[in-house]
Structure 1
């Protein structure tokens, strides 16, 4: 199984276009040793020829142009991207669908909650029907059903398991403060021939028993790296909401993501979806050194992972 990190930043990327915080101004001036990052998305392949996108960020055009593996190669109009799986209906994870409108019909995998959001509150799917069209594949995580196994034709040797996780519906959702199963999912992607697994959850409000048991199975864990502290946005004058308010588990503190990752048997533990305010973006910073002591990596655009 091959995993390609297309984008590793949170909404707005890094540096964010309108942000002059210490982290953004530092990378622009060269004061910080840090990489620019686009908004988070990954691509997965079994054979290196057929790929599936997991989320489609607003930066998808740049990400595809920057990834030779995903360039057309067999016909005047062609793409190795065969499907898209959505983890949620957040703007930074779905609006890239519009940039795929010149291609074939989009084979889209998402939960009923996400499908509803994208046909009503943010009606991307009705718009796309006037261009390439969309074929919806139901991920039946809803109501009392908290998990579901599914397959994707383009990845015949992989089994995928969707798990409802704690989090927030998008700010535009009528049930933003009334969570429903399927608003947010994590995925366990398993290669059946080898048993190797990757756990992917770019938005994760907490690590409960179900999440922990799935993470225990994974050889590679790619999880929410949005914030270092719960009050990060407030402390730096960038917003009024805590990490918890926005549905993210910060890395530091008792019960934080570092503590959740400690003790897992995974040979690779990575943070993705990193906000522009997070000090782990500084390659030479104290927080990055702390992550390294815990065996935790920070994902970056263009990173390739093979299991």
Structure 2
């Protein structure tokens, strides 16, 4: 199973277009050791030919251009993306669907009914796509049952309900249901290897921890170092926990959770532009390195 990280940043990417925090200023000026990042998305393939896209960020055009495998050029209009899985209805995970509107057939889209509801009402992306080739919606259940995708032979998918938050335009904002946010357990039945992917994670519930412990690789929420990080930068008075993200450094944060796990390869994704771990020379990055926790970057490849 081949996993390709298309984007590793949080909403807005890095640097964010209107942000002058220390990280954004530093990467623009070249005064810190850091790499730019587009907004989070990954792709998974069983055969290196057909790819399942996980979320469609506003940066999808650049991500497509940067990954030649997505354009096999078999037809005048072609793509290697055979299906799209959406883990939540947040703007940074679905706006790219509008860029993909001119597909030559309906998109095969897999998401929960809660996400479908938001994408046909508060942010009616699916309705807009209906004026082009439309979509074929495949419901993802939240009972942790295994499902398959025809173009990913040998791979099993399990949606894992997460406690995070619904989008700002959702009627379930601050009172999310299990289908509003999911992680994904992705298993290659040929090798027995598995990935747990959760770019948004507000609470590490027991069932989530079990999936994480048993995975061979984890790509998990690395949005912020501290819960009050954005308020310290003068950007927002909201805490990360209010937006549905666990911080990394607190007792009970992502780092302490990962440190207790022995089996999986541990990788953080969905990194906010304010997070000091983006500076590769920072003490925070050194702390992660010492703990054996990696930071995802655009273009990263993982083979399981």
What TM-score comes out, normalization by structure 2 length? 0.98
Confirm or deny: 8 A CA contact 2:214 2:264 kept in the other structure: no
Q: Aligned to 1:276, which of 262, 267, 273?
A: 273
Matches within 5 A, 1:62-141: 62-103=62-103, 104-141=105-142
Farther off after superposition, 28-37 or 261-270? 261-270
Instruction: Provide the rounded CA distance (Å) in 2 between the counterparts of 1:15 and 1:166.
Output: 28
Instruction: Provide the rounded CA distance (Å) in 2 between the counterparts of 1:290 and 1:207.
Output: 21
Secondary structure of residue in 2 paired with 1:84: strand
Confirm or deny: 8 A CA contact 1:219 1:265 kept in the other structure: no
Matches within 5 A, 1:242-253: 242-253=239-250
Match of 1:301 in 2: 298
| Superposition deviation, residue 267 in structure 1 | 4.3
Instruction: Provide the rounded CA distance (Å) in 2 between the counterparts of 1:88 and 1:244.
Output: 17
Instruction: Provide the rounded CA distance (Å) in 2 between the counterparts of 1:267 and 1:88.
Output: 24
Which 5+ residue runs of structure 1 have no aligned equivalent? none
Q: How many residues align?
A: 303
Matches within 5 A, 1:174-189: 174-189=171-186
Matches within 5 A, 1:148-227: 148-227=145-224
Which 5+ residue runs of structure 2 have no aligned equivalent? none
Secondary structure of residue in 2 paired with 1:182: helix
Change (3 A) 1:132 1:72: farther
Secondary structure of residue in 2 paired with 1:107: strand
Confirm or deny: 8 A CA contact 1:113 1:183 kept in the other structure: yes
Confirm or deny: 8 A CA contact 1:221 1:266 kept in the other structure: no
Match of 2:228 in 1: 231
Instruction: Provide the rounded CA distance (Å) in 1 between the counterparts of 2:162 and 2:55.
Output: 16
Confirm or deny: 8 A CA contact 1:58 1:92 kept in the other structure: yes
What TM-score comes out, normalization by structure 1 length? 0.97
Instruction: Provide the rounded CA distance (Å) in 2 between the counterparts of 1:32 and 1:238.
Output: 20
Instruction: Provide the rounded CA distance (Å) in 1 between the counterparts of 2:62 and 2:133.
Output: 20
| Superposition deviation, residue 75 in structure 1 | 1.3
Deviations 1:262-292 (A, max 9, x none): 1323342100000000000011111111001
Secondary structure of residue in 1 paired with 2:53: strand
Instruction: Provide the rounded CA distance (Å) in 2 between the counterparts of 1:267 and 1:227.
Output: 21
Farther off after superposition, 150-159 or 258-267? 258-267
Instruction: Provide the rounded CA distance (Å) in 1 between the counterparts of 2:63 and 2:127.
Output: 25
Instruction: Provide the rounded CA distance (Å) in 2 between the counterparts of 1:266 and 1:240.
Output: 37
Instruction: Provide the rounded CA distance (Å) in 2 between the counterparts of 1:99 and 1:298.
Output: 28
Instruction: Provide the rounded CA distance (Å) in 2 between the counterparts of 1:164 and 1:148.
Output: 11
Task: Output the aligned Cα RMSD.
Answer: 0.9
| Superposition deviation, residue 233 in structure 1 | 0.7
| Superposition deviation, residue 69 in structure 1 | 1.3
Confirm or deny: 8 A CA contact 2:201 2:220 kept in the other structure: yes
**Structure 1 position 262 matched with structure 2 position 259:** yes
**Structure 1 position 48 matched with structure 2 position 48:** yes
Confirm or deny: 8 A CA contact 1:148 1:163 kept in the other structure: no
Match of 1:22 in 2: 22
